[in-house]
Amino acid sequence: MASRSAMNGSARIGLFGGSFNPPHLGHLVIASDVCAQLGLEKVVFVPAANPPHKVIEDDVPAATRLAMTKLAIAGDGRFEVSSLEIDEGFRYTLETVAEFRARSSSSEIFFIVGSDSLLQFENWHQPSAVLMICRLAVAPRPGDDPQSIKAAAERWGRGAVSVLPTTSVGISSSEIRGRVRLGMPITYLVPADVEAFIIDQGLYGRP
């Protein structure tokens, strides 16, 4: 079946923001599932420079997180990495989606988030303005209440938020950082090249 983007002549792209500290297999599974279910032309990973709602743990520089993200997606033609937020110093999703809209005015944009972000979306900077530019594609996180997710999606109006049945992978960046600090393996939790980079750079207080 032809994707909707092919039928209406406009490309569909997904923007996947986050600190990616580090990027892990859960991120890749979500991106892959969203890409397939929405018929996206590509998913663009956008590492954050200085997110307003989150502290970058372990003081890992933006350039380092960008490098790990590039390693994580290497070899998958569906995925790209953008340094937009880092280069421009953007802090808010509204700035990011507005710039992507300016660069690709005919594209349909989906901003990919976990359900934890959806549940806090009303506290974001100008959330209604964000939804005038793009739609949210939401991946439910393990442990989040399905009814709460459904209600949070519905409050923004029909079609503004798509909650997708993505594969549930119980991996978190904080867990990975903790395992590294304890000298425990992270093999099969992050791509092999990311693991090698973490070891080589001595990230996360590796003993």
**In this structure, is the dihedral angle defined by the CA atoms of residues 160, 165, 166 and 170, taken in order, positive or negative?**
positive
Is 189 inside any structural domain?
no
- What local confidence, expressed as pLDDT, does residue 163 receive? 96
Is 198 inside any structural domain?
no
Q: What is the mean pLDDT of the chain?
A: 91
pLDDT in tens, 100-120: 999 988 899 999 999 999 999
Is 206 inside any structural domain?
no
Residue 30 sits in a domain whose CATH number is 3.40.50.620
What percentage of the chain reaches a pLDDT higher than 90? 80
* Total of domains in the chain: 1
**The pTM is what?**
0.91
Is 29 inside any structural domain?
yes
Is 186 inside any structural domain?
no
pLDDT in tens, 34-80: 999 999 999 999 999 877 667 777 889 999 999 999 999 999 999 99
Q: Which domain holds residue 161?
A: 9-169
- What local confidence, expressed as pLDDT, does residue 3 receive? 41
Is 73 inside any structural domain?
yes
pLDDT in tens, 133-182: 999 999 998 888 999 999 999 999 999 999 998 888 889 999 999 999 99
Is 24 inside any structural domain?
yes
